[in-house]
Structure 1
Amino acid sequence: MLQVSIKRGREKRIRGFHPWVYKHEILSFSRKPKPGELCIVRDYRGGFLAKGYINPESYISVRILTFKKEEEIDYDFFVRRISEALEYRRSLVPEDCTAFRLIHSEGDYLPGLIVDYYSGYLVVQVTTLGMEVLKEKVVRALIDVVKPKGIYEKSTVPTRELEGLPLVEKPLYGEIPERVVILENGIKFNVQIVGGQKTGYFLDQRENKLLFSREFVSEGDRVLDAFCHLGGFGLHAAVIGKASEVVALDSSQLALDLARENAALNGVEDRFTFVKGDAFKVLKEMSLKGEKFDSIVIDPPAFAKSKKVLEQAKRGYKELFLRGLKMLKPGGSIVVCSCSHHVTPPILEEILQSAAFDTRTPLKVLYTTYQSKDHPFVLQIPESRYLKCIFARSFPWEV
């Protein structure tokens, strides 16, 4: 097996269970590496550190799979890892949820692999060359451990191109329906597996949606769900929070069509108004018209996909938060989210604070939350804590 030696002083981070070796940290190879092959990582003296796979052309050259010297990276390895992940999800996902993230890349020490479970079907996303090489073993292990009805690959993320891989979307095993109905906190959702966004649904907000509907929505409330996708926050507000009216806004007609179907599935379509359009323009128009809401959710896509556009992203978030706060009733609640890992919790707080200052909206923050527990972040990788949500309530008086 290829031996990769890293420079003196770099071993401490690996011994602290950080799962990446960066290109500039490599001292030498035992031979010319083959992209995607397995390797052993050693310190500059030759001491064993870890095993993983390598892509010498990538900035993250080695991604670690195990810190155990005797552990082989074979079919049995993936059976163990997947079994551990499944047992963990069964311990935390409630019975009224039939969809969850089964494998969360580094969060389950299977870097480059995402697997989502949708009512008996699996959607797989492979993001790295090394995991692509291992994919056949992964799929066999998934079949044997999970026993799914079908497995669909949706490896369509741009990071694959950085690894020299084509974008792929195809069935891998069994019969795959175009759509499948899932339960999330007891609410029915029609999920588009084939041709939908990401793996079909955004599972990382499950706990946040439940918190919102239980503590921030009251019977009879008027709710705004901006960037609603399939209607997640809005449906939770209507079904669990018993909101009387939900305005669901998204730029995607496909998402809105599914959101409308989902509202009908749960018998609350009469409480929904669906609006298609650019959120920046629509929220501005709504605020100028004097629209008011008891609860508002602003959950946009990632604006800061790289650090160089962070300042531009901050301006975008602030514009959205300003428009939302202008429509918030005194005593109302607002939830603002960012799934950009460059937007740290302090930065998100700073943006909301600036928007609250400009709109003269006194706010009290009740929760700062992250992605659902089936999307664990790695302590050693701050950027793996990508999703941040601030739950705030305005004071019940106007200034």
Structure 2
Amino acid sequence: MLQVSIKPGREKRIRGFHPWVYKNDILSFSRRPKPGELCIVRDHRGSFLAKGYINPDSYIAIRILTFKKDEEIDYQFFVKRIEEALSYRKELVPENCTAFRLIHSEADYLPGLIADYYDGYLVIQVTTLGMEILKETVVRALVEVVKPKGIYEKSTVQTRELEGLPLIEQPLYGDVPERVVILENGIKFNVQIVGGQKTGYFLDQRENKLLFAKEFVKEGDRVLDAFCHLGGFGIHAAVIGKAKEVVALDSSQLALDLAKENAQLNGVADRFTFVKGDAFKVLKKMSQEGEKFDSIVIDPPAFAKSKTVVQQAKRGYKEFFLRGLKMLKPGGRIVVCSCSHHITPPMLEEILISAAYDTRTPLRVLYTTYQAKDHPFVLQIPESRYLKCIFARRFEWEV
């Protein structure tokens, strides 16, 4: 197996269970590496550190699979990892949920692999060359452990192109329907597997949606669900929070069509107004027209996909938060989110503080939350904490 030595001082991060070796960490190779092959990582003195796979053309050159010297990276290795992941999810996913994230890449020490479970079906994403080479073995292990009705691959993320891989969407095992109905917190959602966004649904907000509906929505509220996708927050607000009216905004007509179906599926469609459009323009127009809401959730896509665009992303988030705060009634509740790990929790707070200052909106912060527990945040992998949400309430008085 290829042996890779890393520079003095770079081993501390690896010994601390961080799963990445960067290109500039590498001191030498035992031979010329083959992209995607397995390798052993050693410190500059030759002591064993970890095993993983390598792509010498990538900025993240090695992604670690195990820190155990005697653990082989074979079929049984993947069976064991998947069994561990499934056992963890069985402990924490409630019975009224029939969809969850089974494999969360580095956070399950299976870098380059995402696997979501949708009521008997698996949808996977493979994002790296090393995992692409191991994919057939991984699929066999998933079939043995999970025993799904079918497995569908949606490897359509742009990071594949950085690894020199094409974008792929295809069935891998069994028969997978285009759509499947799942339960999330006891609420029905029609999920578009084939042709939909991501793996079909955003499962990482499950606990935040329930918290929003239970504590931030009151019976009779008027609610704004900005970037609604399939209507997750809004439908929770209507079904559990008993909101009187929900305005659901998204730029995707496919998402809005499914959101409307989901509202009908749960018997709350008569309380919804669906708005298609660019959120910057729509929210600005709504705030200028004096629209007011009791409860607001603003959950935009990841603006900061790299460090180079963080400042630009912060301006975008602030514009959305400004518009939301201008439409928030006295005593109203607002949730603001960022799903980019480059936007840290302190950054998100700073953006909200700046927007509150500019709109003269006094806020109490009730909760700061992260992604659902089936999308684990590993302490030694700060990059795994990507979703942040601030739950705040406006004071009753106006200035």
TM-score of the aligned structures, taking structure 1 as reference length: 0.99
Give distance in 2, aligned partners of 1:11 and 1:327: 51
CA distance in 1, matches of 2:115, 2:82: 10
Residue 54 (structure 2) aligns with? 54
Deviation for aligned residue 1:11: 1.3
> Which residue is 1:195 aligned to?
195
> 1:83-125 deviations in whole A, cap 9, x for unaligned?
0000000000000000000000000000000000000000010
Residue 18 of structure 1: aligned partner: 18
Aligned-pair distance for 1:305? 1.2
Q: Secondary structure at the match of 1:236?
A: helix
Aligned to 1:353: 353
Equivalent AA in structure 1 for residue 116 of structure 2: D
Aligned length: 399
Identity %: 86
Question: Does the residue aligned with 2:51 lie in a helix, a strand or coil?
Answer: strand
2 CA distance for matches of 1:136 and 1:103?
A: 16
The one-letter code of the counterpart of 1:311 is: Q
Number of the residue aligned with 1:4:
4
Structure 1 residue identity aligned to 2:340 = S
Q: Distance in 2 between the 1:323 and 1:265 partners?
A: 31
Q: Distance in 1 between matches of 2:305 and 2:41?
A: 30
1:263 paired residue number: 263
1:130 Cα offset (Å): 0.4
Query: After the TM superposition, which of the residue ranges 298-307 and 221-230 deviates more from structure 2?
Result: 298-307
Deviations 1:141-191 (A, max 9, x none): 000000000000000000000001010000000001000000000000000
Contact 2:298 2:320 in 1 (8 A): yes
CA deviation profile, 1:11-61 (whole Å, cap 9, x unmatched): 111111111111111111111111000011111111111110000111111
Tell me, in whole angstroms, the C-alpha distance in 2 between the residues paired with 1:31 and 1:46. Answer: 15
- Distance in 2, Cα, partners of 1:61 & 1:357: 43
CA–CA separation in structure 1 for the residues paired with 2:306 and 2:105: 20
Amino acid at match of 1:50: A
Letter in 1 for 2:365: V
> Is structure 2 residue 50 aligned with structure 1 residue 86?
no
2:254 corresponds in structure 1 to: 254
Task: Give the corresponding residue for 2:312.
Answer: 312
SS of 1:366's equivalent in the other structure is strand
Q: Which residue of 1 aligns with 2:321?
A: 321
Identify the residue that residue 185 of structure 1 maps to in structure 2.
Answer: 185
Q: 1:175: which partner in 2? A: 175
Is residue 240 of structure 2 the alignment partner of residue 240 of structure 1?
yes
Contact 2:225 2:296 in 1 (8 A): yes
What are the superposed Cα offsets for residues 342-399 of structure 1, whole Å, 9 maximum, x if unpaired? Answer: 1111111111111111111100101111111011122222222111100000001111
Alignment correspondent of 2:135: 135
Letter of the 2:50 counterpart: A
Structure 2 Cα separation of the partners of residues 199 and 277 of structure 1: 23
Q: Deviations over 1:176-219 (max 9, x none)?
A: 10000000000000000000000000000000000000110011
* Aligned equivalents of 1:15, 1:133: Cα separation in 2: 26
Task: Tell me the residue number matched to 1:102.
Answer: 102
Check the 8 A contact 2:40/2:52 in 1, yes or no.
Answer: yes
Residue 337 of structure 2 corresponds to 337
Distance in 2 (alpha carbons) for counterparts of 1:87 and 1:75: 18
Give secondary structure in 1 for the equivalent of 2:329: strand
Aligned position for 1:36? 36
What amino acid sits opposite 1:325 in the alignment? Answer: L
Matching residue's letter, 2:176: I
The runs of 5 or more residues in structure 2 that have no matched partner are none
Deviation at 1:269, TM superposition (A): 0.4
Counterpart of 1:134 in 2: which secondary structure? Answer: helix
Q: Distance in 1 between matches of 2:396 and 2:229?
A: 30
Task: Give the secondary structure class of the aligned counterpart of 2:122.
Answer: strand
Computed over aligned residues only, the root mean square deviation of the Cα atoms, in angstroms, reads 0.7
For residues 280-317 of structure 1, give each alpha carbon's deviation from its aligned partner in whole angstroms, at most 9, with x where no partner exists: 11111111111110000000001111212111111111
Structure 2: how far apart are the matches of 1:311 and 1:6?
A: 33
Moved over 2 A (4+): none
Q: Secondary structure at the match of 2:386?
A: coil
Aligned twin of 1:228 = 228
Q: CA deviation at 1:77?
A: 0.3
TM-score by length of 2: 0.99
Letter in 1 for 2:342: H
For 2:144, the equivalent position in structure 1 comes to 144
Give the letter for the 2:379 counterpart.
Answer: L
Measure, in 2, the Cα distance between the counterparts of 1:308 and 1:8: 28
The amino acid of 1:127's aligned partner reads T
Counterpart contact for 2:107–2:381, Cα < 8 Å:
no
Q: Give the Cα separation in 2 of the matches to 1:121 and 1:128.
A: 23
In 2, Cα distance between the equivalents of 1:371 and 1:330?
28
